């Protein structure tokens, strides 16, 4: 049912205007509002906070369907669900959950997740944004970079250092900061290669005073742990939408190959084209199995840090290879924006970069392997 609902929404609501939104770098505001009304923005949030209360399996299936049509809208949905709602529901105080989760889940507001800084990307634990306690307030100073949804967000989940004496992860805390708090300014919207309907920019904190009640969970020092747990989940979702986009690209390439004739016959008859179709099909199948298996394990209560990183790494790299082959199958037409493959080729390049690059996934997987073998 959820697959069909997501498929219908993608066809009826995301498909019209998807090319124009990309051309004009336009945020899909109306579509996001409707997704909220249908329960897609708080899919796994407990119904007691107005969420849809679904499991991970349902969520990844929905993400696959949405991403087949509009990768930008899928990212907005993913950030709100996995980075914003999940972090708050898992680590927030009851008061914080009651105040914000119903509003995120209904799409009344969306949030952003602020971890990356100009000098802290892959090495996120070295972040410098500070949060200094001042009576019943914290004072935030620092700059966050490439923040998805920031120009449209009502709240920022901000990772900041509350203890400057601890240089690593345990000096970091997480705050839920309202976007209209004095002392916050936004940089100009980044000009991106793809996913142009999803906006990112810098978020700058200058002597930004937030009440102590903004500290997520009311406990200092668990911010980095919170961020990493949240990213485990986000990575699985990026794996899911890599599978969705790859399926869409391959479907387009297959139909193009059947229709396009050269040397007096459909190019689909040529074995070199068939090899590209077959390799793509097999790789998508492998990635899909990984994502669904990791989702099932998560729903069974297993720690899926390794599986989420494996799925993200394999699925996003697979998606890049499939995008490249599908442009090749389209020939020159694949380089022209009239065909959806041109947009998807640009969109999918990002999958291998955000929420931990491929190299960072390799480091996580190997670190977990070594830890388990030496425990």
Pure H helices in the chain: 2-9, 18-24, 29-37, 56-67, 71-78, 86-91, 94-106, 223-259, 271-299, 305-330, 340-348, 358-374
**In this chain, which stretch among 2-10, 114-122, 214-222, 365-373 interacts with ligand FAD, using CB under 6 A?**
114-122
Of 113 and 224, the one with the shorter C-beta distance to ligand FAD is 113
Q: Counting beta carbons within 10 angstroms of the beta carbon of residue 38, is it exposed (0 to 12), middle (13 to 18) or buried (19 or more)?
A: middle
Task: Give the residue among 14, 72, 77 at the shortest CA–CA distance from 234.
Answer: 77
Report the residue from 104, 113, 224, 241 that binds ligand FAD according to the rule CB under 6 A: 113
- Compute the least distance from the CB of residue 83 to ligand FAD, in Å: 7
Cα 194 to Cα 362: distance, rounded to the nearest angstrom: 25
Of 61 and 75, the one with the shorter C-beta distance to ligand FAD is 75
Report the residue from 353, 366, 369, 370 that binds ligand FAD according to the rule CB under 6 A: 353
Structure tokens at 253: 């390439």
- Compute the least distance from the CB of residue 251 to ligand FAD, in Å: 26
According to the binding rule CB under 6 A, does residue 366 interact with ligand FAD?
A: no
Angle separating helix axes 56-67 and 271-299, nearest 10 degrees: 150
According to the binding rule CB under 6 A, does residue 148 interact with ligand FAD?
A: yes
Cα 366 to Cα 375: distance, rounded to the nearest angstrom: 14
List the x/- string, 190-229, binding to ligand FAD by CB under 6 A.
--x-------x-----------------------------
Report the residue from 3, 11, 12, 122 that binds ligand FAD according to the rule CB under 6 A: 122
Residue closest to ligand FAD (Cβ) = 121
Which residue of the set 64, 117, 283, 355 is catalytic?
Answer: 355
According to the binding rule CB under 6 A, does residue 114 interact with ligand FAD?
A: yes
The answer to whether the CB of 196 falls within 8 A of the CB of 22 is yes
Task: Give the residue among 27, 61, 17, 69 at the shortest CA–CA distance from 245.
Answer: 69
355 is a catalytic site residue: yes
> What is residue 89's three-state secondary structure?
helix
According to the binding rule CB under 6 A, does residue 90 interact with ligand FAD?
A: no
According to the binding rule CB under 6 A, does residue 241 interact with ligand FAD?
A: no
Active site residues: 355
Contact set with ligand FAD (CB under 6 A):
79, 112-116, 121-122, 146-148, 192, 200, 350, 353-357, 359-360, 363
């Amino acid at each position: 049912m959820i697959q069909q609902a997501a498929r219908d929404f993608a066809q009826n609501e995301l498909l019209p205007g998807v090319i124009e939104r990309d051309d004009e770098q336009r945020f899909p505001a109306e579509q996001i509002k409707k997704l909220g009304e249908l329960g897609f923005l708080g899919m796994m949030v407990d119904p007691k906070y107005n969420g849809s209360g679904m499991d991970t399996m349902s969520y990844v299936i929905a993400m696959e369907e949405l991403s087949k049509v509009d990768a930008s809208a899928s990212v907005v949905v993913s950030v709100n669900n996995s980075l914003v709602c999940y972090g708050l529901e898992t680590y927030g105080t009851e008061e914080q959950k009651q105040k914000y989760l119903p509003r995120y889940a209904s799409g009344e507001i969306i949030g952003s997740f602020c971890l990356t800084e100009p000098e802290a990307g892959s090495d996120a634990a070295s972040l410098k944004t500070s949060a200094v306690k001042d009576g019943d307030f914290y004072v935030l100073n620092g700059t966050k970079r490439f923040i998805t949804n920031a120009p449209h967000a009502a709240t920022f989940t901000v990772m900041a250092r509350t203890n400057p004496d601890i240089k690593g992860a345990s000096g970091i805390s997480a705050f839920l900061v309202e976007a209209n708090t004095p002392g916050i300014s936004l940089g100009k919207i980044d000009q991106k290669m793809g996913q142009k309907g999803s906006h990112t920019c810098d978020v700058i904190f200058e002597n930004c005073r937030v009440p102590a009640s903004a500290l997520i969970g009311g406990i200092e020092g668990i911010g980095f742990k919170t961020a990493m747990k949240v990213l485990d989940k986000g990575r699985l979702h990026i794996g899911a939408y890599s599978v969705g986009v790859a399926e869409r690209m391959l479907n387009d390439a297959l139909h193009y190959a059947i229709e396009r004739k050269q040397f007096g016959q459909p190019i689909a008859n040529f074995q070199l084209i068939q090899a590209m179709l077959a390799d793509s099909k097999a790789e998508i199948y492998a990635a899909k199995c990984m994502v669904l298996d990791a989702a099932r394990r998560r729903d069974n209560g297993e720690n899926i840090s390794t599986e989420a990183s494996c799925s993200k790494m394999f699925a996003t790299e697979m998606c890049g290879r499939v995008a490249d082959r599908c442009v090749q199958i389209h020939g020159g037409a694949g380089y022209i924006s009239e065909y959806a493959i041109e947009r998807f080729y640009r969109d999918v390049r990002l999958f291998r970069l955000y929420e931990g690059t491929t190299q960072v996934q390799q480091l996580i997987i190997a670190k977990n392997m070594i830890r388990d073998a030496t425990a």
